[in-house]
Amino acid sequence: MPISTEQNQHIVLDVDRTTFNTDLYLREIIRSIACFLSQSDEAIEAKLEDYCHSLTDSTQFSLDDFIDYLINNLFPKTVKTNDLEENDPNGIKQDLLYFIQSWLIEEPKLIFPDALVILKELRQLGFRIIFWSQGETTHQEWKLSFFQRDGSHELALIAPDKLANDVIECIPPGAVVVDDKLPVLEQLATIRSDLQPVWLDRLNGDGQNCPSHIHHITDLNQLMTLLEVY
């Protein structure tokens, strides 16, 4: 069933694994660090896993913290405290962060190709886009900066828990909300029945486990069909 839309309709888009290719992003971070430090990808991936296990929640992930963790682990003798900026005479951290940023700028597919297409079309059609993202603010804002290379600037709701009441109440009435996690949308729908949830099932499922009050798509291009703009 199509979604009824109004003028200036708000479209709320999740970031990680909905519009932003988080798995490719993490892979490229690992590759860039491995290249910079002349280590194997596997060695850096193992450090990343160790770091993630040290977090109580994956949403605490911060690239800056991970670099601290990595340098402290790889160079324990030269760096004696966590305060690397003061104690790292070689400026490894800043050089490494700059190297990672330069590396990622060369990767054109960090934003999913279908997301790039629909973002452009939604803007042209007058829809209002809001990014809705969970995680450490600086890190999530950095991911969003990849969407702004063409000069566009969308509103963003970023929080450690994006389902927190004070975050959810910021979503405009009747908005269409797209997310790759069905449980997120199910919970959202119990709190905000006025919203129009859309599950982006990038694994190409048949949607049989999708409740009838949630729309099911396997590709963001299908959102445009749902919105009846084609």
Footprint of Mg ion (CB under 5 A): 14, 16-18, 180
Closest separation between CB of residue 17 and Mg ion, Å? 4
- Give the residue carrying structure tokens 């890190």: 139
Give the three-class secondary structure for 134.
Answer: strand
Which residues in 162-201 are b (16+ Cβ under 10 Å) and which e? beeeebbeebeeebbbbbbbbebbeebbeebeebbbbbbb
* Residue (16 or 201) nearer to Mg ion, CB: 16
Closest separation between CB of residue 130 and Mg ion, Å? 15
N- to C-terminal Cα separation, the chain: 14
Helix axes 137-145, 63-74, angle to 10 degrees: 110
* Residue (17 or 128) nearer to Mg ion, CB: 17
Closest residue to bound Mg ion by CB: 16
* Residue (69 or 112) nearer to Mg ion, CB: 112
DSSP state of 129: E
Closest separation between CB of residue 32 and Mg ion, Å? 23
* Residue (10 or 143) nearer to Mg ion, CB: 143
**CB-based contacts of 148: which residues, under 8 Å, 6+ apart?**
none
Closest separation between CB of residue 20 and Mg ion, Å? 8
Bridge-based pairing of strands 128-134 and 155-159 is: parallel
* Residue (19 or 62) nearer to Mg ion, CB: 19
Closest separation between CB of residue 199 and Mg ion, Å? 11
